[in-house]
Structure 1
């Protein structure tokens, strides 16, 4: 297993967007994100968003967890035929949602409704009365959960909000857990089984406490985290020879649309991590090896389902 030190964190999740003039106000004015950095390239612009936190003051965007990267390919906002895949349709399913944890979910729901936010699921709907789902301007699902930090009656404070997790569906949980735990060094924070609906959720993230016991974290403490990956396993897919797998958000094979891009692991010495992975896992699936692309100082590795994970350092583009 590669050496995992305390600098390791899940830095960001990337989603493609159609029009930044719609997406940026939604995430900043309504959901309370702050624009940390915008990084412009000839053909696309990256918008790095995160919730304010004094612990991250003075740090580069790539040295903190809980970042949402919105990727805008220049000109698509003018294309009436341009569409994005939110990952939850009847075909090309894969990515499920991002999740924001809030202080007071009842009040947050009221505030979002007053601002015209479209809900996929309100608190009162369905069996799970403690979660809600809203839709962003591109149709991506955003789960709402409650962390209770600083909770006060009849109010909600976006300064307490956190980008808690990113959900992706996986075919074989054993293979996926082995990859995220052994190759990338994540810890299994907790597991949630749902026998009636025949699926299991695995929540993984970095925890650098030597005394932490895996699969032991309760719901509320987990909701206070940033930088979690939620693996959703629908029972039986691992043994179903007819199951073709999930869409990774990036391929366009067979008419698939793009949408979700990747998650990202950040650490102080990403070159060392990549070197150790190559040495210990020679069959690892790289879409871009360290420092070999047009953009230097990054790499992309694929998990067993083909989802991309970017690997970078804590000072990427710090001088731009």
Structure 2
């Protein structure tokens, strides 16, 4: 009340001492401000009190414009909410329509349900006794194996563990299965069809198709290291042969080794030496794609982020990583910083290679690794929380299936087709119920 006394005096004196109409009184207008504020007890305390006399003195003595303090954030929110509540009735229909449109856009642009994460790349191998030691030499650990003797094949899963991480589980046990189906990294799945190590049961078997022939889709996998030259010297002394050594060809400083089946394994340098303590880490799976716009969009729906892209005269490269192993995607994937970030990742990236012009050829199609006579690379796989829900979302995007979740003898897992027809395995996170299909590994 004391603070309102100057205003009360002005309200009584000013009209009596001048003939100016009410709205022309500057001092009178200023005197009204505290009165109005006093009528708003919920907001008055959010303003610093301003004496009308001090405002008038500042304005008229120096010519400066008086600055009225801004209301506190709580006051602004209160006033905004009051406005919204008054206008809600006349704009409710348009607001609901806008909300539905926003939700639709978010659904179209978002990741499919089930928290999909890239978990495996599958290659068929002729002899696990040769392939497993080779990949152990490249820093991988055998974390699990799943035996299906009734179907004449066995699966071996290998991955790069963090430096110093001791793996104490026994491959083939339930504990190892639990680890495999809940892992956050990416495993190399090696599929062994019994007898291929002896060229049986088909005497005509000459080995698996390793890609890189005309129209082949699969190109290679890769491991990263700090020193490509030293790594290749070590591998060569161990008996590894090469498609390309670091000093050969136009692109210096990278190499392509042959694994025991003839698959190409790229040896690439990390962006920053010493950032990853492992000698090697599993770093890439390369697939050729017909239309990068469709393929990049598809894999983003499966929870991947575009980390970097590089463009050359007749081809382009797109590198994607799973959401669970990276933070935010770079704002400019074409920048040098984006390239360095991708090269320093511990987990692998999916490298999509686009040869320019294929997107305009309606008849062009890559071989995907599962055609008769061209079998080698099989698929990549993703873990999800709910296979059925995720497959419903993939189906709604317009993509078909090689195997539906309830198809075949193994229930609860599926194989979808990506835009190029590659097989994409959809696997339940936490474990697959094979029923009587799985047999304990010896």
Coarse TM-score class (shorter-chain normalised)? 0.7 to 0.9
Q: Residue deviations 1:83-136, cap 9 Å, x none?
A: 2111112x4511000011123222211111111111111111122213211010
Match of 1:162 in 2: 281
Query: Equivalent of 1:269, from 386, 390, 400?
Result: 386
Describe the SS at the equivalent of 2:124.
strand
Residue 290 (str. 1) matches residue 405 (str. 2): yes
Residue 76 (str. 1) matches residue 196 (str. 2): yes
- Cα distance change on mapping 1:174 and 1:130 into 2, 3 Å: same
Q: Residue deviations 1:269-316, cap 9 Å, x none?
A: 3333223223x32x3111112243322331111111111111112322
Aligned residues: 305
Match of 1:116 in 2: 239
Provide the rounded CA distance (Å) in 2 between the counterparts of 1:215 and 1:316. 38
Q: Which has the higher strand share?
A: 1
Provide the rounded CA distance (Å) in 2 between the counterparts of 1:56 and 1:267. 27
Q: Residue deviations 1:60-103, cap 9 Å, x none?
A: 113232210000111122225212111112x4511000011123
C-alpha contact 2:113 2:389 (8 A) present in aligned 1: no
Residue 38 (str. 1) matches residue 145 (str. 2): yes
Match of 1:24 in 2: 132
- Give ranges in structure 1 of 5+ residues lacking alignment: none
Provide the rounded CA distance (Å) in 2 between the counterparts of 1:214 and 1:265. 26
Give 1:27 shift.
Answer: 1.3
Match of 1:129 in 2: 252
Match of 2:315 in 1: 199
Describe the SS at the equivalent of 2:188.
strand
Describe the SS at the equivalent of 2:323.
coil
Match of 1:13 in 2: 121
What are the equivalent positions in structure 2 for 1:1-320 lying under 5 Å apart?
1=108, 3=111, 7-28=115-136, 30-41=137-148, 42=150, 43-53=152-162, 60-62=179-181, 63-79=183-199, 80-82=203-205, 83-89=207-213, 91=214, 93-147=216-270, 151=274, 159-182=278-301, 184-195=302-313, 198-207=314-323, 211-213=328-330, 215-216=332-333, 218-223=338-343, 224-241=345-362, 244-252=364-372, 256-278=373-395, 280-281=396-397, 283-317=398-432
Provide the rounded CA distance (Å) in 2 between the counterparts of 1:300 and 1:9. 15
Describe the SS at the equivalent of 2:317.
strand
- Cα distance change on mapping 1:88 and 1:211 into 2, 3 Å: closer
Q: Which has the higher helix share?
A: 2
C-alpha contact 1:10 1:228 (8 A) present in aligned 2: no
Q: What TM-score comes out, normalization by structure 2 length?
A: 0.63
Give 1:169 shift.
Answer: 0.8
Give 1:244 shift.
Answer: 3.3
- Cα distance change on mapping 1:101 and 1:212 into 2, 3 Å: same
Q: What TM-score comes out, normalization by structure 1 length?
A: 0.85
Provide the rounded CA distance (Å) in 1 between the counterparts of 2:350 and 2:217. 13
- Cα distance change on mapping 1:20 and 1:55 into 2, 3 Å: closer
Provide the rounded CA distance (Å) in 2 between the counterparts of 1:194 and 1:270. 38
C-alpha contact 2:113 2:390 (8 A) present in aligned 1: no
Describe the SS at the equivalent of 1:87.
coil
Please report the RMSD computed on the Cα atoms of aligned residues, expressed in angstroms: 2.8
